[in-house]
């Protein structure tokens, strides 16, 4: 089913009598066995005001189209959404609705915030086939409950997004990347923390154990970046040799897309933790490769097929979600970290009220 | 302002409820004498008052849990209260309710600079959160005007903002986790020191739910390293439209100021008379502040001044010292006090798309003539969050009603140009009945469905946020069931 308008979609949903998979560009690897509602024809940027830093687009609008429109005005999606195609081996065109549904945020999340922090408003069709709107297109809005946040990262299980409004930001004039040679993960996380708690506004803080380097990104006006880069170099010199990358190229885009894991066999997990817990967490798992982003708060792990990382950790504060695995592993372990009983009762009850017939991506989140 | 009729059954059982609360709380934490409950009869929206049946001041999460469990069993509405600084009536009691104040829970539980968070009890005031970390050059970013007094609990309930959220975001962008007690007494922990939630973003919907989903007793907040410096520039214009265009051009230029504040003639004059900040005599005044090292601030301000000059300002004053910066901010920060000297006032909080600024200011001016009530405008221009201050005389019969009608018209205008009713104060009782202007029945139904999940009996702050007519069947279902 490929609705061309929101009204058509609402009618389709009202008439459904069996579960459906919600699909934007189909690049995020969550397609289920069910019939598909495909939003890729709900497209178009409906409003863009660079002077107000706001953009409104229909859910099926390609991310690339939005980024091109922003680029023309020297602006960008500051939360730096990942492209999953390389990691998952999917094809298709990533849509803004998919980005929002999965709350996809890249390296700049550590400074600028996540997709959900830039989401100002949504329109969606709920499980009864009703059109619902929440939030709006202004940056400050506390009118009623914030269902905007609830929809971000709900992976289509609460409703089918039809339109999203986003806060956008100016593109930095220049960007610089520092690399710090570090002997181990503990030193790496300590170096990243030192940078993040400095006043020098680091907009990317990662560690790649394969090259033994911590990476730090500085963005802004040229003079400012040079100044902060010099300050940071001396601040971090105690952790290891510091240098500025001459040609950073696609290093941050590769990090964003977990480039080192592409075409490597095995399952891929994403673990969200308090940065200082990261060294202990990776010591508890058997991973073939790891990659640390968000100052150590996000761990990517490539592990043997079928590994149950949650069992390997034991109890910990944070969550571990599967990004890539076979259907058997996903069925056995679940894509998302199981919730505590009290929380699960609340989230199941919310899902039941937004989608009482259990139509949308059933079983994906619980 | 209409409020639901107090439930006579609850009022009749006051003694029983009081006895049960005294079994779980120390005697000095339960307030029941009418002369003492009067202290909780209103918040900062002082035009509306009603003493609660009882007030309690628990000191621990366990005590909060006991109170809510008992009230849930007894069918008693509970109105949570932080410091009582709500401008929207968020903490206004009903005669049959228990006020649950979190003021005694004000400890810092954990400070972690490496991971950049602080964990506090929710009764702690906003400014004292920064107070706990500023010796080490850190701060908590959201800075509502009431930050000296307002509690983190209330900040979370209303998703409070402040002057600096253009760069740092509002409460929801700086809140990492909560410990919260549900109406049935169960305690849940949501989020924490890590960044991403695993499942649905419950934290996001709790923030800004106006105390209707649960009582937050502990909060994990993001703290940030203080910038090396901050410096404002003041600029005056002879035309609101030109000032609005200047704001838009600054934003489009790629510079991200931390604050862009706007004041109109009436406010400029009132502030100048009150604080002698040396403001120019003009139609529109902007204060634009940037942050960073000396060189960075020089660079950003030079670009901003270059843009401003293109709009023929009547005044352009870059701060040269900490003293001058303080003077530039002095007038703005005393704006509410200055307006209060002129008369009683009602402070509105609608947000509009920045591009609609000139049109909205013009319409407000016309309505001011029609209603015969003066209005001053002072607001966060970078994000379109307006604060029209309508002057009226509370002692003059009919003036409050006229002021309310004027305020409602301004807020409807904000919605009609693509904005919203409230940018940072919350709906409370003040804007409750205007919600239908912004949201269709299905939109409100979706929000109320969330409350059904957290508080099935609709006992927590039940008469707020939603139009009484819209929430009636849910509130009455509870009373009928008892």
Query: CB A142 to CB B158 under 8 A?
Result: yes
Q: Which chain B residues touch A197 with a CB distance below 8 Å?
A: 113-114, 116, 138, 225
Mean pLDDT of the B21-39 span: 97
Total Cβ atoms within 10 A of residue B127: 17
Rounded distance between C-alpha atoms, residue A325 and residue A330, angstroms: 6
A136, closest residue in chain B (CA to CA) = B419
Give me the half-sphere count of Cα atoms (radius 13 Å) on the Cβ side of residue B127. Answer: 8
Q: Which chain A residues touch B201 with a CB distance below 8 Å?
A: 103, 116, 149-150, 152-154
Q: Which of B192, B249, B251 sits opposite A317 (nearest CB)?
A: B192
Q: Which of A139, A148, A339 sits opposite B384 (nearest CB)?
A: A139
ipTM over 0.95: yes
Q: Which of B114, B208, B299 sits opposite A221 (nearest CB)?
A: B299
Write out residues 255-284 of A within 8 Å (CB-CB) of B: 272-276
Query: CB B251 to CB A51 under 8 A?
Result: yes
Which pLDDT belongs to residue B27?
A: 97
> With an 8 Å Cβ cutoff, is A142 touching chain B?
yes
Q: From the candidates A81, A106, A137, A143, which should be mutated to test the interface with B, based on the most B CB atoms within 10 A?
A: A143
Q: From the candidates B166, B204, B425, which should be mutated to test the interface with A, based on the most A CB atoms within 10 A?
A: B204
Write out residues 173-212 of A within 8 Å (CB-CB) of B: 173, 190, 193, 196-199
Q: Which chain B residues touch A74 with a CB distance below 8 Å?
A: 254
Task: Spell out the long-range contacts of A67-71 with Cβ–Cβ below 8 A and sequence spacing 24 or more.
Answer: A69/A45, A70/A168, A70/A171, A71/A171
Mean pLDDT of the B71-82 span: 97
Total Cβ atoms within 10 A of residue B421: 30
Structure tokens at B319: 């701060």
> With an 8 Å Cβ cutoff, is A126 touching chain B?
yes
Is pLDDT at B1 greater than 90 in this prediction?
no
What Å distances lie between residue B163 and A11, B176, B289, B375, B408, CA to CA?
A: 44, 21, 10, 21, 24
Which pLDDT belongs to residue A313?
A: 87
Tell me the fold of A6-170: 3.30.465
Q: Which chain B residues touch A340 with a CB distance below 8 Å?
A: 188-189
Is pLDDT at B196 greater than 90 in this prediction?
no
Tell me the fold of B108-225: 3.30.465
> With an 8 Å Cβ cutoff, is B162 touching chain A?
no
Q: From the candidates B201, B222, B419, which should be mutated to test the interface with A, based on the most A CB atoms within 10 A?
A: B201
* Residue given tokens 């200011």 in the structure block: B361
Contact B148, B125 (CB under 8 A): yes
Write out residues 128-157 of B within 8 Å (CB-CB) of A: 137-138
**Predicted confidence pLDDT, tens digits, chain A (366 residues):** 999 999 999 999 999 999 999 999 999 988 877 889 999 999 999 999 998 999 999 999 999 999 999 999 999 999 999 999 999 999 999 999 999 999 999 999 999 999 999 999 999 999 999 999 999 999 999 999 999 999 999 999 999 999 999 999 999 999 999 999 999 999 999 999 999 999 999 999 999 999 999 999 999 999 999 999 999 999 999 999 999 999 888 999 999 999 999 999 999 999 999 999 999 999 999 999 999 999 999 999 999 999 999 999 888 889 999 999 999 999 999 999 999 999 999 999 999 999 999 999 998 987
Which pLDDT belongs to residue B360?
A: 93
Query: CB B201 to CB A297 under 8 A?
Result: no
Which pLDDT belongs to residue B482?
A: 62
Query: CB B424 to CB A354 under 8 A?
Result: no
Rounded distance between C-alpha atoms, residue B377 and residue B244, angstroms: 13
- Return the CA Rg of chain A: 21
CA end-to-end span of chain B: 27
Query: CB B195 to CB A337 under 8 A?
Result: no
Common-topology check for domains B108-225 and B343-436: no
Q: Which of B114, B187, B418 sits opposite A137 (nearest CB)?
A: B418
Q: Which of B115, B169, B453 sits opposite A346 (nearest CB)?
A: B453
Mean pLDDT of the B261-290 span: 93
Structure tokens at B437: 């202007």
- Return the CA Rg of chain B: 23
Nearest alpha carbon to residue A120 among B169, B200, B88: B169
Q: Which chain B residues touch A153 with a CB distance below 8 Å?
A: 197, 200-201
Q: Which chain B residues touch A116 with a CB distance below 8 Å?
A: 201, 204
Q: What is the pLDDT of residues B100-158, one digit of tens each?
A: 999 999 999 999 999 999 999 999 999 999 999 999 999 999 999 889 999 999 999 99
Provide the residue ranges of all domains of chain B, joining segments of one domain with +: 108-225, 230-336, 343-436
Per-residue pLDDT band for B480 (boundaries 50, 70, 90) equals confident
Query: CB B427 to CB A170 under 8 A?
Result: no
A248 to chain B nearest CA, in Å? Answer: 22
Residue count of chain B: 482
Contact A261, A290 (CB under 8 A): no
Which pLDDT belongs to residue B47?
A: 86
Q: What is the CATH number of domain B230-336?
A: 3.30.70.2190
Q: What is the pLDDT of residues B290-347, one digit of tens each?
A: 999 998 999 999 999 999 999 999 999 999 999 999 999 988 888 888 888 889 999 9
Rounded distance between C-alpha atoms, residue A119 and residue A56, angstroms: 10
Query: CB A149 to CB B203 under 8 A?
Result: yes
Write out residues 244-273 of B within 8 Å (CB-CB) of A: 247-249, 251-256
Structure tokens at B277: 């900040």
SS (H, E, C) A263-321: CCCCEEEEEEECHHHHHHHHHHCCCCEEEEEHHHCEEEEEECCCCCHHHHHCCCCEEEE
Per-residue pLDDT band for B354 (boundaries 50, 70, 90) equals confident
B427, closest residue in chain A (CA to CA) = A143
Tally A–B CB contacts below 8 A.
256
Q: Which of A136, A342, A343 sits opposite B420 (nearest CB)?
A: A136
Write out residues 332-391 of B within 8 Å (CB-CB) of A: 351-355, 380, 383-385
Query: CB A150 to CB B205 under 8 A?
Result: yes
- Say which CATH architecture domain A174-256 belongs to: 2-Layer Sandwich (3.30)
Q: Which of A113, A131, A134 sits opposite B169 (nearest CB)?
A: A113
B181, closest residue in chain A (CA to CA) = A342
> With an 8 Å Cβ cutoff, is B199 touching chain A?
yes
A128, closest residue in chain B (CA to CA) = B442
DSSP state of B125: B
Query: CB B447 to CB A147 under 8 A?
Result: yes
Write out residues 287-316 of A within 8 Å (CB-CB) of B: 294, 297-298
Write out residues 218-237 of A within 8 Å (CB-CB) of B: 220-221, 223-224, 227-228
Q: What is the CATH number of domain B343-436?
A: 3.30.70.2740
Q: Report the largest interatomic distance among the alpha carbons of chain A, rounded to a whole angstrom.
A: 65
Total Cβ atoms within 10 A of residue A89: 11
Q: From the candidates B90, B115, B220, which should be mutated to test the interface with A, based on the most A CB atoms within 10 A?
A: B115
Which of A301-305, A344-348, B65-69, B263-267 comes out lowest in average pLDDT? B263-267
Rounded distance between C-alpha atoms, residue A196 and residue A79, angstroms: 17
B16 to chain A nearest CA, in Å? Answer: 30
Which pLDDT belongs to residue B243?
A: 92
Main-chain dihedrals φ then ψ at residue B237, nearest 5 degrees: -130, 160
């Amino acid at each position: 089913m490929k609705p061309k308008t929101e009204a058509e979609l609402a009618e389709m949903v009202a008439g459904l009598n069996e579960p459906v998979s919600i699909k934007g560009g189909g690049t995020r690897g969550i397609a289920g066995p069910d019939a598909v509602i495909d939003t890729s024809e709900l497209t178009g940027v409906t409003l863009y005001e660079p002077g107000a830093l706001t953009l409104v687009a229909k859910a099926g609008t390609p991310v690339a189209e939005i980024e091109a429109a922003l680029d023309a005005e020297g602006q960008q999606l500051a939360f730096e959404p990942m492209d999953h195609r390389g990691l998952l081996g999917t094809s298709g065109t990533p849509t803004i609705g998919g980005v929002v549904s999965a709350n996809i945020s890249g390296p700049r999340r550590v400074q600028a915030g996540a997709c959900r922090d830039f989401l100002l408003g949504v329109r969606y069709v709920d499980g009864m086939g009703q059109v619902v709107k929440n939030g709006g297109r202004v940056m400050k809005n506390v009118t009623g409950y914030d269902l905007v946040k609830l929809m971000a990262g709900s992976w289509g299980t609460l409703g089918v997004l039809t339109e999203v409004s986003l806060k956008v930001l100016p593109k930095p004039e220049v960007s610089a990347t520092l690399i710090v040679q570090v002997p181990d993960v503990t030193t790496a996380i300590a170096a990243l923390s030192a940078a993040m708690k400095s006043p020098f506004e680091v907009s990317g803080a990662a560690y790649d154990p394969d090259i033994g380097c911590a990476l730090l990104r500085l963005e802004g006006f040229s003079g400012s970046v040079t100044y902060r880069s010099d300050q940071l170099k001396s601040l971090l010199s105690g952790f290891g040799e510091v240098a500025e990358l001459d040609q950073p190229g696609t290093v941050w885009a590769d990090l964003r897309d977990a480039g080192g894991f592409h075409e490597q066999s095995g399952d891929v997990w994403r673990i969200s933790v308090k940065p200082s817990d990261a060294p202990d967490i990776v010591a508890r798992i058997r991973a073939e490769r790891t990659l640390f982003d968000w100052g150590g708060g996000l761990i990517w792990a490539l592990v043997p097929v079928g590994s149950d990382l949650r069992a390997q950790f034991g109890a910990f504060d944070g969550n571990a979600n599967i990004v890539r695995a076979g259907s058997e592993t996903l069925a056995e372990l679940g894509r998302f970290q199981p919730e505590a009983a009290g929380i699960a009762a609340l989230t199941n009850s919310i899902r039941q009220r937004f989608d009482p017939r259990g139509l949308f991506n059933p079983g994906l989140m619980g | 302002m209409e409020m639901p009729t107090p439930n006579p059954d609850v009022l009749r059982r006051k003694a029983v409820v009081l006895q049960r609360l005294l079994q779980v709380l120390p005697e000095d934490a339960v307030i029941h004498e009418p002369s003492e409950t009067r202290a909780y009869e209103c918040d900062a929206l002082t035009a509306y008052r009603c003493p609660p049946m009882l007030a309690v001041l628990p000191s621990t999460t366990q005590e909060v849990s006991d109170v809510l469990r008992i009230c849930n069993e007894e069918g008693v509405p509970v109105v949570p209260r932080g410091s009582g600084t709500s401008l929207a009536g968020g903490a206004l009691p009903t005669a049959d309710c228990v006020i649950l104040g979190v003021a005694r829970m004000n400890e810092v539980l954990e400070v972690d600079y490496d991971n950049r968070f602080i964990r506090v009890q929710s009764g702690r005031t906003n400014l004292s959160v920064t107070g706990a970390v500023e010796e080490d050059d850190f701060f908590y970013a959201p800075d509502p005007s009431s930050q000296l007094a307002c509690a983190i609990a209330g900040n979370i309930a209303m998703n409070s903002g402040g002057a600096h959220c253009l760069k740092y975001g509002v409460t929801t962008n700086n809140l990492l986790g909560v410990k919260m007690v549900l109406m049935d007494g169960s305690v849940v922990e949501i989020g924490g020191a890590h960044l991403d939630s695993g499942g649905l973003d419950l934290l996001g919907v709790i923030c800004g739910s106006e105390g209707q989903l649960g009582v937050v007793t502990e909060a994990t907040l993001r703290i940030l390293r203080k910038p090396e410096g901050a410096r404002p520039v003041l600029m005056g214009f002879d035309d609101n439209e030109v000032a609005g265009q200047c704001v838009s051009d600054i934003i489009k230029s790629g510079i991200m100021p931390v604050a862009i504040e706007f004041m109109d003639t009436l406010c400029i004059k009132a502030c100048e008379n009150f604080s002698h900040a040396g403001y120019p005599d003009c139609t529109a005044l902007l204060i634009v502040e940037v942050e960073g090292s000396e060189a960075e601030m020089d660079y950003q301000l030079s670009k901003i001044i270059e843009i401003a000059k293109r709009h023929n300002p009547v005044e352009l004053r870059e701060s040269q010292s900490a003293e001058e910066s303080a003077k530039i901010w002095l007038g703005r920060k005393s704006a509410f006090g200055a307006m209060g000297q002129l008369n009683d006032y009602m402070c509105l909080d609608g947000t509009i798309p920045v591009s609609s600024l000139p049109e909205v200011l013009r319409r407000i001016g016309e309505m001011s003539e029609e209603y015969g009530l003066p209005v001053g405008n002072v607001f966060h221009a970078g994000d379109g969050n307006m604060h029209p201050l309508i002057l009226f005389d509370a002692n003059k019969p009919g003036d409050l009603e006229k002021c309310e009608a004027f305020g409602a018209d301004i807020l409807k205008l904000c919605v009609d140009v693509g904005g919203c009713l409230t940018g940072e104060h919350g709906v409370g009782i003040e804007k409750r009945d205007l919600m239908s202007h912004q949201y269709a029945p299905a939109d409100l139904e979706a929000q109320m469905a969330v409350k059904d999940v957290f508080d099935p009996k609709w006992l927590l702050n039940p008469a707020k946020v939603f139009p009484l007519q819209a929430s009636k069947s849910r509130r009455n279902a509870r009373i009928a069931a008892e």
